């Protein structure tokens, strides 16, 4: 199994541009989520999904959209990038509520918005 | 939401045992305690989880006293490769309740 994969690894955007961060998992996990991590800080939840077709907001959802059309994929869209969105983005997945604490994280996408 | 408090940083030397304590005074009856490890430029990795008393796996031990208001992650005989940030999380399920604080930055020296 490849686990959780994320693309791209690095990305530089200009203010106002849009882009999609890709996340995929091959473990048949129902639960997937997106976090951002700013320097010296812990992870903050952006959006999460409890299954295909179901998404919900986390702690810092503004400026981001998600969709979950398949179990495997959970893309994160930045509609109009802002410098405040410069961060490292992590995607994670887990089996379900009973095992939610064991999340499997991807390698991250380092995003810089100029 | 159960808030956790950990030391910001710790230093140790190779071969020593490291104990990182996490305070969670407002822990609820259904909450579990979970620890993650994060290396630079990588995503966090699950280490251990427990509800009460002691849990041990091949990587670490987790000690939880009877009142469950704190927990201690114990890393036996650390090596340089254990240099990482360690996060203590408390929750009972649901991603909107899972909070990663700033963690404890452990530096292991030769």
Which chain A residues touch B39 with a CB distance below 8 Å? none
d(CA A33, CA B80): 31
Interchain pair A100, B99: CB under 8 A: no
pLDDT tens, position by position, B38-65? 998 899 999 999 999 999 999 999 999 9
Q: How far is B45 from chain A (nearest CA, A)?
A: 7
Q: Is A59 within 8 Å of chain B by CB?
A: yes
d(CA B76, CA A85): 39
Who has greater pLDDT, B87 or B100? B87
pLDDT of residue B95: 55
pLDDT of residue B90: 86
Q: Is B93 within 8 Å of chain A by CB?
A: yes
Angle at B106 between CA B100 and CA B107, to 5 degrees: 150
pLDDT over 90 percentage in chain B: 71
Tokens of B36: 């993650």
Rg (CA), chain B: 13
Interchain pair A105, B45: CB under 8 A: yes
pLDDT at A16 over 70: yes
pLDDT of residue B2: 62
For chain B, the average pLDDT equals 90
Mean pLDDT across A71-99: 90
> What region, left, alpha or beta, does residue A53 occupy, with left being phi > 0 and alpha being psi -120 to 50 degrees?
left
Q: Is B100 within 8 Å of chain A by CB?
A: yes
pLDDT of residue A1: 79
pLDDT at A87 over 90: yes
d(CA A58, CA A33): 9
For chain A, the average pLDDT equals 92
């Amino acid at each position: 199994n490849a686990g959780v994969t994320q693309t791209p690894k690095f990305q530089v955007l200009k203010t106002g541009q849009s882009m999609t961060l890709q996340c995929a998992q091959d473990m048949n996990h129902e639960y997937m989520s997106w976090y951002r991590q700013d320097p010296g800080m812990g992870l903050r939840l952006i959006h999460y999904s409890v299954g295909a077709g179901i998404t919900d907001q986390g702690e810092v959802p503004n400026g981001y959209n998600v969709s979950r059309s398949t179990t495997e994929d959970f893309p994160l869209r930045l509609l109009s990038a802002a410098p405040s969105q410069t961060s490292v983005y992590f995607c994670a997945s887990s089996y379900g509520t009973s095992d939610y604490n064991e999340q499997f994280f991807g390698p991250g996408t380092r995003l810089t918005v100029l | 939401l159960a808030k956790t408090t950990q030391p910001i940083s710790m230093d140790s030397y190779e071969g020593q045992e490291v104990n990182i304590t996490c305070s969670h005074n407002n822990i609820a009856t259904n909450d579990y305690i979970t620890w993650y490890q994060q290396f630079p430029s990588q995503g966090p990795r699950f280490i251990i989880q427990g509800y009460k008393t002691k849990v041990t796996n091949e990587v670490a031990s987790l000690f939880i006293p009877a009142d469950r208001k704190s927990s201690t992650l114990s890393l036996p005989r650390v090596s340089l490769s254990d240099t990482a940030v360690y996060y203590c999380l408390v929750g009972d399920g649901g991603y909107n309740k899972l909070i990663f604080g700033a963690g404890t930055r452990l530096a292991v020296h030769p």
